[in-house]
Chain A
Amino acid sequence: MSVDTSKVATSNRTDAATASKPGPAGSLASWADDRLGLATMMKKNLRKVFPDHWSFMLGEIALWSFVVLLLTGVFLTLWFTPSMGEVTYEGSYDQLRGIGMSEAMASTLHISFDVRGGLLMRQMHHWAAMIFIAAMMVHLLRVAFTGAYRKPRELNWVIGCVLLLLGTLEGFTGYSLPDDLLSGTGVRAADGFMKASPVIGTYMSFLLFGGEFPGESIIPRLYIVHVLLIPGILLALIAAHMLLLVYHKHTQWPGPGRTEQNVVGFPMLPVYAAKAGGFFFMVFGVVALMGGLLSINPVWKFGPYDPTKVTAGSQPDWYMGWPDGALRIMPSHLETVLFGYTISWNVLIPILLLPPMMLVILMLLPFIEGWITGDKRDHHLLQRPRNAPTRTAVMVSLMTFYGLLWAAGGNDIIAIKLHASINQITYFMRGAVFLGPALAFWITRRWCISLQRHDNEKLLHGYETGIITRSPEGQYAERHLPINEKTAYTLTARERDEVFTVGSDTDAAGVAAPNSRSERLRARLSRWMYVHNVQKPTVAELEEAHHHAEHEAELAAGLDHPVDGHQFDDHRLRDTDDVPLRDH
């Protein structure tokens, strides 16, 4: 059966649209259209349909916090002086008066104490940055867990990964600008990272700092990277990300009437625009509340950067926490001298190899999965995480790895808050980063498969009513009732996994296919990926189960009274038809 398009609505209005006389707005519109031809483009997109689900709005949090970042950032540039020129602070903050510092630090203090709303804007900017990257990561997890990165959206996934990287770099450059003790310590560590790069490291450091650390150039250089270079690329990539979203149309959850061929939801104008616009104000509002109430990076307490000072709890912002954790749990003495050249594995591995490797793995996920499954079809229906147990387990395993390193990055704070020893925490983490992900993989996969079984149970035998009946023989049994058609359909609206086999290993003439080795690997991986999965029941299985259920019902009907457990009270069984699908 092909999709019936006759019922496709183009409007959700209930009354007919009527042409009205062009008012001044109409005249302006035709003036513009005469020159720009906007109508052709807008006719397609104004009523573009977006499906509605909370998890589809996570990326929006990132988008709107980026807008907040642009707005607050522009405000801050009006007063910030990106210079390392020496000045003596004579501003309002008593404890630092008379202290020498860079102009960057002095202007940050000026924004904080002498510009009304300046401190609020600084804190909003910082909170928005933290939320921006956090939202990108939750959005990434949603996309990965639902399989939304499959064809045709792989490239948009890659763009998203690059956005995450750029967001992190943007955050780090911003963190360094105030030139306070914490940010300076961070820059000095970054200098150490650079110097650990083989061959070119020392020169990279000297070129970036304009000589030896700290020099006088780093703040102005980071500033231009922070306010122009990276935001420019971010903007361009965000635009590309959104254009591809519009071109592909949003994915949707399967359900009655929601298929691979259509998208069901609300039109861009007015509902989606209102919801998205409203959400922008909410994100902005939450950031403003946090900026007004919660202190973040109190630079005046850190004081100006001085390369001889340091504070306990010297940590990067959260998104740099996991490489920092990797750095902390490296064993001692990992450095080799080869032909007189020093290779610092203790920095190389956790900072210069691990994060880029994680990023590459992340970017390749859809391609690796696509290759193993050999699936070349377009996918617009999302998968529930349980229905792709191996993918879900891989993601949880990566999350566990990330989370453990993240915790290792806060080992000193964990130590004082839990009265533990940093040494013990570090020893534990050294093992846990290897064992944890493996364990998480195994648990998650088994868990998903159990959930799949549970779904099949529901399809075949109905849901558990919680009603216990006792047979005349004294046997107790829980009564199961069939789930409604909508739920049942939604549960079955998934594909059967097919293990790739090397069937056509040799062609008719007995000649091995050219790629047979990689094909065999692929078959093995495909088997590993799918073999334990539980497939949805077939028509025959369902019919048999229903026959069985009918038989049971007949037996029950033979009794004197219906035994749904509520025969003596007013309660009727849950009217499963009334339960909205989305609640499941």
Chain B
Amino acid sequence: MSIETPPHESHVPTHREAEPIPDPGLPPHHWRPTDVDPKAEKRAERQIAAMFIAAMISAVLFVVAYFSFEVGDNWDTFAGMGASTVALGVTLGLTLLLIGIAIIHLARKLMSDVEMVEMRHSAASPPEDREATIEALNAGLDEAGIGRRPLVRNTMLGAVGILGLPAVVLLRDLAPGDELDISKLAHTIWEPGMRLVRDVVGTPILASEVEMGDLINAAPEALFPTEENGYEELHGAELQVNKAKGAIIIVRMEPENIIPAKGREKWTVDGIICYSKICTHVGCPISLYERTTHHVLCPCHQSTFDLADHAKVIFGPAARPLPQLPLAVDEAGYLVAQSDFTEPIGASYWEREKQ
């Protein structure tokens, strides 16, 4: 049997020759044991019913598990796992699987499996339908007269098109007011004389207490207000934004190992050096510090910075060194910032160099 060329002609020149082997046609149907053997049929029926019954039992067990296993303050456990989750999952899963398997078993064993043949149609509409449609379209457009009145057509398109403008402008207040002021990216909460405090606990750091090889994950004191330091309590977005930008890491290494960048000779205190904790690649916090090599690694994309050498990039996708925070010691011996960072921290952005 040759495969017929579909009604709409292909433009590929095909010289069709006889197929090497003719289509033998659909093979004769072979019956299943369940079609011809009543015993097999009954067996399949029993199997299917058994699965449905097991599904019902499992569903009941789900309800039992729901009410009998405690969650909340006092979880029941089973082999070191949460009994409720496991029991509910297993009973629900079994119920569903048994129903599914039983239905499919039913389809495979007991429903007719004689294959049927259906003829295809071309996806395209018949040519006369196309013509009729085009005619109707033309008639419609003609009656509308849009084609003949370019002034009306063009102004209409313009008017509808300009609707995009209000739609876009409406989105402006997604960041209302001066929230859209991108120059804020260039500054953090650090200011001259602000103490460096340990993250989480918020205690200031005595320079004398930092030992060789120490890594301190630290934060600006303003984020840990106490009566003593007199900072105002920050909340919500303001707190989060300042946390996100102010995070730092402090390390101490042998002062002779530090290769100071130009102009940064006085930014360290006796081998104590401080950098932004925010990776300059896409902004993950970064504190995988190796004290032997002075390298710090970003867990997100493996950018590696050499903290001894002004945190220059030595591996990975980052392009810029970590910004350094200039350090000093106040009269009580605590580590303080000489100033804010001298460049924007974190990921690069289009206007970065403009600020």
A–B direct touch, CB within 8 Å, in complex?
A: yes
Count of B residues near A, CB < 8 Å?
Answer: 118
Whether a CB of chain A sits under 8 angstroms from the CB of B158 is no
Cβ of B71 under 8 Å from chain A: yes
Alpha-carbon gap, A382 to B94, bound state (A): 36
- Asked if A387 CB lies within 8 Å of chain B CBs, one says no
Complex CA gap A88/B275 in Å reads 31
A340: chain B residues within 8 A (beta carbon) = 353-354
Indicate if B150 sits at the interface (CB-CB under 8 A).
Answer: no
Q: Which residue of B lies closest to A338 (CB)?
A: B353
Tell me the B235-293 residues at the A interface (CB within 8 Å). 235-237, 240-241, 243-245, 247, 277, 281-288
Does A422 lie at the interface of the complex (its beta carbon under 8 Å from any beta carbon of B)?
yes
- Within 120-148 of B, Cβ neighbours of A (below 8 Å) are at 120, 122-124
Residue numbers in B under 8 Å from A374 (CB-CB): 11-12
A157 to B85, CA, bound (A): 39
| Stretch of A133-141, A167-175, A193-201 that contacts chain B | A193-201
The B-contacting residues of A in range 177-236, CB under 8 angstroms, are: 185, 188-189, 191-193, 195-203, 205-217
Chain B 1-25: CB-based contact to A (< 8 A → 1; otherwise 0): 1111110101110100111111111
Structural contact, B4 and A262, CB atoms closer than 8 A:
no
Interface centre among B219, B236, B347 (most CB of A within 10 A): B347
Q: Which residues of B are found within 8 Å of A478, using beta-carbon distances?
A: none
In A327-366, which residues have CB < 8 Å from any B CB?
A: 327-335, 337, 340-344, 346-347, 350
Contact status of A347 and B282, CB under 8 A, knowing A152-B123, A196-B349: yes
* Interface locus among B38-46, B206-214, B317-325, B332-340: B317-325
Task: Please judge, given known A-B contacts A307-B240, A310-B287, whether A542 and B180 are in contact too, CB under 8 Å.
Answer: no
The interface residues of chain A lying within 8 Å CB-to-CB of B104 are: 274-275, 278-279, 282
A192–B283 contact, CB under 8 A? yes
Interface size class of A (residues with CB under 8 A): 35 or more
Q: Mark A480-518, 1 if CB is under 8 A from B, else 0.
A: 000001101100110100101000000000000000000
CB-contact partner of B92 in A11, A198, A292, A306, under 8 A: A292
Per-position 1/0 for B311-355, Cβ under 8 A of A: 001111111100000000000000000000000001111111110
Classify the interface of chain B: helix, strand, loop or mixed: loop
Tell me, rounded to whole Å, the shortest Cβ–Cβ distance linking B192 to chain A.
Answer: 22
B281 touches A288 (CB 8 A): no
Instruction: Return chain B residues, CB-CB under 8 Å to A538.
Output: 17, 20
In contact, A344 and B348 (Cβ under 8 angstroms) = yes
Question: Are A281 and B284 in contact (CB-based, < 8 A)?
Answer: no
Mark interface residues in A283-303 (1 if CB within 8 Å of B CB, else 0).
Answer: 111111111110000000000
B54 at the A interface (CB under 8 A): no
Please provide the chain A residues from 1 to 26 with a CB less than 8 Å away from any CB of chain B in the complex: 1-3, 5, 7-14
Q: Mask for B285-311, Cβ within 8 A of A = 1, else 0?
A: 111100000000001111100000000
A114 within 8 A of B: yes
In the assembled complex, the Cα of A119 lies from the Cα of B219 at a distance in Å of 35
A258 CB to nearest B CB, Å: 8
B72: which A residues are within 8 A, CB to CB?
92, 113-114
Report the Cα distance A10→B320, complex, angstroms.
71
Q: Report the minimal beta-carbon distance from B149 to chain A, rounded to whole angstroms.
A: 34
Find out whether the CB atom of A210 lies under 8 angstroms from the CB atom of B66. no
A216 to B174, CA, bound (A): 12
Contact A12 B115 (CB under 8 A): yes
Could you tell me the distance in whole angstroms from the C-beta of B30 to the nearest C-beta in chain A?
Answer: 9
- B226 in the interface, Cβ–Cβ < 8 Å? no
20 further A-B contacts with Cβ under 8 Å, apart from A264-B117, A376-B12, are A8-B117, A48-B118, A152-B124, A192-B282, A192-B283, A201-B350, A212-B245, A256-B24, A262-B118, A266-B113, A270-B107, A274-B103, A278-B106, A282-B100, A286-B97, A334-B319, A337-B353, A346-B318, A412-B299, A495-B3
A–B complex contacts, Cβ < 8 Å, 11 sampled? A12-B114, A119-B71, A119-B84, A207-B172, A214-B237, A281-B103, A286-B97, A330-B317, A346-B318, A426-B315, A498-B12
